[in-house]
A and B are shown apart, each in its own frame.
Chain A
Amino acid sequence: MKMKKSLLLASLVSMSAFLFACNGGDDSASGEGNDVTLDFWVFGATNYEDLAEAYEEENPDVKINIKTSELEDHHNSLFTAISAGSGAPDLTMIEVDQLDRYREAQDRFTNLYDLGAEEIQDQYLDWKWNMAENQEGDFLFGLPTDIGPKAMYYHTEVFENADLPTDPDEVSELISSPEAFAEAAGAVLEATDKPMVDSMEMAFRANMDALEVSYFNRDGELVIEEEDGVKNAYDYAVELHEQGYVSDFEMWTPEWGDALNKGSFGVEMAPAWLKGYMTENAPEASGDWRVTTLPSQFAGNWGGSYVAIPGETEHSEEAYEFSKWLLSPENQMKSFTESGLFPSTPEVYEMEEFTSNSDEYFGGQNTAEYFAEAAEEIPEVYKGPKYVTVNNEVLTALRNVQEGGDPEQEWEEAVERIEGLLDR
């Protein structure tokens, strides 16, 4: 009896030691011969896994190891690795809003200009490329992946009921300025009792995403009170709210999804990536929505990424070659058709597959051309390392306004909070 127990115990201990140990052998395998293994961290829905496989076939000595995660988790673990100074991947995606955070840590990344990135600069949109440079313009953090040019998604039934046009070109002609947008919102409210915009955030973003200078200047100083862009965007959102044009559907919540599905508001101002969500999560609305160009004052970019090469890597050249290939116009075209990643290489917009694109969900419309049109009009913006946090304070103020707060007082309190935040 006792023998049995001690045997059991001994076997348990050795088993757990074995279980732990047997998984450690992976690393050694990658070092064989001249083979190079590239760790590549990716977030969101991409087709990079498939493309990497194709690349491996063409280049048998390169193996690409992709880790896909969700946006926030991805950037948190990237920050941890970069900060620890050890254990970063060979290649990583960085979302445009997160990029500024790493500007100070330029020394922990590979300068892509050193690897010859200048040669391919012409392929990409200028504003997108320039945003990945340092202030002096002699250091390039990453190669452009996708972009997020915003367009206007509008619900045809809502527009029809409000006696507004439903043809995309007629709509963009009518709604060609912020004032015209407000007017159309008035017509929608009167005829259908529906709000034009889903949330205060979207109403605010309309102008915000178009600002070249928002919270910070390029020296990192807060200019929220010196420059009036942010305050104007705030006032515009408040004004729409006071007219009753803004609802309180928070993005990604079930209520918001339901509203998209049922057409409970008139317009969503968003980039091409919203299409993927709508097709999957608002199936009943198939055929109801169309896409058109936003007024030029609202033309902005929302989202998109870069592929950067952390300085730790021992294979920067192989990594660069792969990213150059991955983000070439031909492959961006593939990423667009397979995963809806909107290309940052304008020559794609002329390609046959692109111009003949037709979206069943949008009643057969070629939505891509409207996004492409928007892509060329986007200003080069500077956001600054704490953009997201600072912006959140203003969004809080707007939400408070929606719940009955006084706009001016909320604004002042938000500015005060922002100044407190930056004083750390």
Chain B
Amino acid sequence: MSEHRMKRFKPGNVPAYILLAFASILSIFPFYWMFVMATQPSAAYNSVPPTLLPGGMLVENFLKVLDTIPFFQAMWNTILLCTSVTILVLIISSLSGFAFAKFSFPGKNFLFICILLTMVIPPQLGLIPQYYLISQLGWLDTLFGAGILFLLNPLGIFLMRQYISESVPDELIEAAKLDGCSNFRIYRSIVLPIIKPAFATLGIIVFTLVWGEFLWQFTVLRDPSSYTLQVALASLNNAFRVDFGMMLSGVFWATVPLIVIFLIFNKWFISSITEGSIK
């Protein structure tokens, strides 16, 4: 922390600041616009030139949302779903990543390539057989059914493998083994603390992915009490009678929690280990 306070503005960094500021403005704009629309009556969406300043309907639009869909129930479901999936993906990925990075076993490369190959199947086509499976297994309308597909995360395994092979020194593992540590113990007490930044990265990516995914959740969840946010929000989008103010208010308030989540993960981004301990 003390290092942060010591940062002083250096003229040499001006180009970096300009680039970052520029990127930030562009990145944030649609989010800002979403906020603007969430505070306007529906007709503002149609105005030419576009409306760019907030109006006074922030609360009113959101109340309409609450009136139309079970917003908080859906948000709770979404939080449950995203949290469970994220935790499980982090565990599955870091364990396999550890195995692929540090153990040797026959067929290792073959298995790794198999995992990467699963990423290559276009997901749009699997919908019908997957739906069939889930309905046969009785997992329709359950968060388990809505979540299981996301547990297959080749990126996670790939990322963990790369991170662990770079940042966990072999000597450290060997030393631990000499001390009589079991492999799981090594994973728990040596690997896990080192890979915090990778956890943060993968965590935020997975959490956001599940939070925003629509098609699969929509297909599996049919009972309004099991709706996640995206599924609930979809019923606000109805071309014949669309109320853009209400719709974007729903979308906006459904996005805000993700920023909080990002800030939570953000704490892990900075690795504590690489700063000193490996020397």
Binding site for B on A (CB under 8 A): 2, 5-6, 9, 12-13, 15-16, 19-21, 23-24, 26-27, 39, 41, 43-45, 65-71, 73, 77, 80-81, 83-87, 89, 252, 254-258, 261, 273-274, 276-277, 280-284, 340
A23/B80 in contact, CB under 8 A: yes
Decide yes or no whether B278 CB sits under 8 A from chain A. no
Docked Cα-Cα span, A319 to B77, in Å, equals: 29
Our count of residue pairs bridging A and B at CB distance below 8 angstroms stands at 142
Interface residues of B in 238-267 (CB under 8 A from A): 238-244
Q: Which residue on B lies nearest to A12, using beta carbons?
A: B87
Decide yes or no whether B96 CB sits under 8 A from chain A. no
Q: Which residues of B contact A69 (CB under 8 A)?
A: 218, 234-235
Q: Which residues of B contact A39 (CB under 8 A)?
A: 222-223
Decide yes or no whether B176 CB sits under 8 A from chain A. no
B239/A27 in contact, CB under 8 A: no
Docked Cα-Cα span, A73 to B231, in Å, equals: 10
Docked Cα-Cα span, A271 to B23, in Å, equals: 46
Q: Which residue on B lies nearest to A253, using beta carbons?
A: B46
CB distance from B189 to the nearest CB of A (A): 6
CB distance from B44 to the nearest CB of A (A): 10
The answer to whether A23 and B239 touch (CB under 8 A), given A67-B223, A77-B218, A86-B136, is no
Docked Cα-Cα span, A327 to B139, in Å, equals: 32
B48/A258 in contact, CB under 8 A: yes
CB distance from B144 to the nearest CB of A (A): 5
A44/B127 in contact, CB under 8 A: no
Interface of chain A: mostly helix, strand, loop or mixed: helix
A23/B188 in contact, CB under 8 A: no
23 A-B contacts (beta carbon < 8 Å): A5-B189, A6-B188, A16-B88, A20-B144, A26-B141, A26-B142, A26-B226, A39-B222, A39-B223, A43-B238, A44-B238, A45-B238, A67-B222, A67-B223, A68-B235, A70-B238, A77-B219, A84-B129, A84-B132, A84-B135, A254-B45, A254-B50, A281-B244
A26/B225 in contact, CB under 8 A: yes
Decide yes or no whether B138 CB sits under 8 A from chain A. yes
Q: Which residues of A contact B41 (CB under 8 A)?
A: 283
Interface residues of B in 163-215 (CB under 8 A from A): 188-189, 192
The number of residues on chain B lying at the interface, defined by a beta carbon within 8 Å of a beta carbon of chain A, is 51
B83/A19 in contact, CB under 8 A: yes
A-B interface, 7 closest residue pairs, ranked by CB to CB distance from nearest: A87-B135, A257-B46, A84-B132, A23-B143, A16-B87, A16-B84, A45-B241
Docked Cα-Cα span, A12 to B199, in Å, equals: 14
Q: Which residue on A lies nearest to B231, using beta carbons?
A: A69
CB distance from B145 to the nearest CB of A (A): 9
A257/B45 in contact, CB under 8 A: yes
Partner of A73, one of B131, B218, B243: B218
CB distance from A417 to the nearest CB of B (A): 23
A2/B189 in contact, CB under 8 A: yes
A26-B141, A69-B234, A281-B46 given. 12 additional CB < 8 A pairs?
Answer: A6-B188, A15-B84, A20-B143, A23-B143, A45-B240, A69-B218, A73-B234, A87-B132, A87-B134, A261-B43, A280-B243, A340-B241
B46/A258 in contact, CB under 8 A: yes
Binding site for A on B (CB under 8 A): 41-43, 45-48, 50, 77, 80, 83-84, 87-88, 91, 127-129, 131-132, 134-136, 138-144, 147, 188-189, 192, 218-219, 222-226, 234-235, 237-244
CB distance from A76 to the nearest CB of B (A): 8
A80/B127 in contact, CB under 8 A: yes
CB distance from A210 to the nearest CB of B (A): 22
Q: Which residues of A contact B131 (CB under 8 A)?
A: 80-81, 84, 86-87
Docked Cα-Cα span, A2 to B188, in Å, equals: 9
A70/B235 in contact, CB under 8 A: yes
Q: Which residue on B lies nearest to A88, using beta carbons?
A: B135
A19/B80 in contact, CB under 8 A: yes
CB distance from A89 to the nearest CB of B (A): 7
Docked Cα-Cα span, A363 to B138, in Å, equals: 54
Q: Which residue on B lies nearest to A273, using beta carbons?
A: B240
CB distance from A97 to the nearest CB of B (A): 14
Docked Cα-Cα span, A71 to B84, in Å, equals: 31
CB distance from B75 to the nearest CB of A (A): 14
Docked Cα-Cα span, A66 to B235, in Å, equals: 12
Docked Cα-Cα span, A229 to B192, in Å, equals: 71
CB distance from B37 to the nearest CB of A (A): 11
Q: Which residues of A contact B91 (CB under 8 A)?
A: 12-13
Docked Cα-Cα span, A256 to B46, in Å, equals: 8
Docked Cα-Cα span, A16 to B203, in Å, equals: 14
A19/B238 in contact, CB under 8 A: no
B224/A65 in contact, CB under 8 A: yes
Docked Cα-Cα span, A191 to B241, in Å, equals: 33
Q: Which residues of B contact A27 (CB under 8 A)?
A: 138, 141
CB distance from B59 to the nearest CB of A (A): 19
A20/B84 in contact, CB under 8 A: yes
Docked Cα-Cα span, A71 to B238, in Å, equals: 8
Partner of B241, one of A24, A89, A254, A280: A280
